[in-house]
Amino acid sequence: MQKRKKMDMTSYHQKYFRPSCLKALNLRFDNWEFFSPFSEKAHDQINLPPELTRTPEDTILNYFSVLREAENMGARSCGTVGQARTPFPIAYNFLSKEYQKILSYDDYLKSFAGIGHTSLIKLFRVPNRKKEIKFFYELETIEGFIDKRAEYFGYSYGYIQLIHEKEGFRISSLSKFEEDFLCAPYHGWNHDGESVLEVKYGSWCKLIQQMYPTAKDGYFKNIYFHGTDGADYCFIFVTLTNGTDVEIAQYRKVNNGSWIQVYMNPEKECLTENPLQ
């Protein structure tokens, strides 16, 4: 009798939970043993092992790995989903003490209403002159509600800031924006990086003298132009799952000098009224 091959759990998760082509990044705790010591504890009874938060990257990857199989969508006909609500009290302890004062555990739990599975599909550190620890992320979630017997995939993105506390790096703020799949086809210019620059810095600010070819690397876009002020500019965008380009950073270079990060706001600097409002 032929021996049955042991199931590759990574392939299993990718097959059933991942319709997109990007690999999930939050796969650190692909076992039941990690959650067992926390299963009967409330959020204020949990102390995270220090190795989970030694670096900013560890904190974020471990945070989303804990949340990967967290479920807050009501009873499902197939029985228990993932680790049910066990991961939420653990994940809450990745937040800084000050952040927890602003966001109670009950409100934190409510923010996951309708979510049954979470895959982290994009993560990178955002450059900034203030030396803040800031990351960009994108999530793919399986969502559904008890009054609608169907699940669907949702996509969102945002920014995470971290600080170092005595116990390690903790999340001090987290923003989240839901992605839409209808606005871009009908109102495309504000979703496409090249068009954004041509409209805002060309038509509004009269700053573009010549656009250069866009350099693409995976989901990153580096868009260059030569300015009417004699300087060169580079804008970095990241492309979301829904095709929208999100601006991440701006750089300016004069003659043969170095690229210097800048922070320009065309709505405030070039217009008296914001046409997007």
Q: Is residue 192 part of a domain?
A: yes
Three-class SS of 57-73:
HHHHHHHHHHHCCCCCC
220 and 164 in a single domain? The answer is no
Tokens representing residue 239 in the block? 């492309």
Q: Is residue 243 part of a domain?
A: yes
157/176 Cα distance (integer angstroms): 6
Cβ 224 vs Cβ 241: under 8 Å = no
Query: The whole model's pTM is what?
Result: 0.87
100 and 37 in a single domain? The answer is yes
The whole-number pLDDT of residue 146 equals 64
The number of distinct structural domains making up the chain is: 2
* Model confidence pLDDT, tens digit, residues 156-207: 999 999 999 999 999 999 999 999 888 777 777 888 999 999 999 999 999 9
Q: Is residue 109 part of a domain?
A: yes
Cβ 117 vs Cβ 17: under 8 Å = yes
Q: Is residue 54 part of a domain?
A: yes
204 and 95 in a single domain? The answer is no
172 and 189 in a single domain? The answer is no
21 and 145 in a single domain? The answer is yes
Last residue of a domain, one of 160, 178, 196: 178
Q: Measure Cα distances from 114 to 7, 110, 143, 144, 248 in Å.
A: 29, 9, 5, 5, 29
134 and 250 in a single domain? The answer is no
Q: Is residue 275 part of a domain?
A: no
27 and 111 in a single domain? The answer is yes
The whole-number pLDDT of residue 12 equals 43
The whole-number pLDDT of residue 32 equals 79
Q: Is residue 276 part of a domain?
A: no
Q: Is residue 234 part of a domain?
A: yes
The whole-number pLDDT of residue 184 equals 74
137 and 23 in a single domain? The answer is yes
Return the CATH number at 81.
Answer: 3.10.450
Last residue of a domain, one of 128, 146, 178: 178
155/217 Cα distance (integer angstroms): 21
* Model confidence pLDDT, tens digit, residues 74-103: 766 566 788 889 999 999 999 999 999 999
pLDDT at 139 over 80: yes
Q: Is residue 78 part of a domain?
A: yes
Domain that holds residue 196: 185-269
24 and 132 in a single domain? The answer is yes
Last residue of a domain, one of 118, 152, 178: 178
Determine whether 144 is exposed, middle or buried from the number of CB atoms within 10 Å of its CB (0-12, 13-18, 19+). buried
Average of per-residue pLDDT across 127-132: 84
Longest distance between any two alpha carbons in the chain, whole Å: 78
224 and 119 in a single domain? The answer is no
152 and 194 in a single domain? The answer is no
* Model confidence pLDDT, tens digit, residues 205-262: 999 999 999 999 999 999 999 999 999 999 999 999 988 999 999 999 999 899 999 9
Q: What percent of the chain has pLDDT over 70?
A: 87
173 three-class SS: strand
Q: How many CA atoms lie within 13 A of 27 on its CB side?
A: 13
The whole-number pLDDT of residue 63 equals 98
Q: Measure Cα distances from 94 to 79, 119, 167, 169 in Å.
A: 28, 18, 10, 8
The whole-number pLDDT of residue 144 equals 84
Backbone angles phi, psi at 22, to 5 degrees: -75, 140
167 and 226 in a single domain? The answer is no
pLDDT at 275 over 70: no
